[in-house]
Amino acid sequence: NEKVPFHIGLSNIDAIFVEDIPEEEKIKEPDHPIEDFYGNEIMKDETYFVFDCDVVLEQNLKQYLTEEYEVECYQAQ
């Protein structure tokens, strides 16, 4: 599993590493939220993250961190 660091600027978070979670290690939540922070419906088997009261789908994680936590995201070349 390759970890991708998000280097954090003006927040109380130092860094977040996002990596693929093996299927057997994922927590299956039968009573999951209906939609995420951006109003996207959360479908069965989708991965989501919880920040305090905010629920964020995996595909919206980068947008959420950059907008809500002013995270500076870098990609190595």
pLDDT tens for each residue of 7-52: 545 455 555 555 666 666 656 666 778 899 999 999 988 999 999 8
pLDDT class of 3 with cuts at 50, 70, 90: low
pTM: 0.61
Tell me whether residue 36 is in a domain: yes
Those residues with Cβ within 8 angstroms of residue 51's Cβ, 6 or more apart along the chain or in another chain: 64, 68
Q: Rounded CA gap, 77 and 67, in Å?
A: 24
User: Which CATH number does the domain housing residue 64 bear?
Assistant: 3.30.40
Tell me whether residue 11 is in a domain: yes
Q: How many CB atoms lie within 10 A of CB 57?
A: 21
What is the tally of structural domains in the chain? Answer: 1
Domain interval for residue 64: 4-68
Amino acid 12: pLDDT: 54
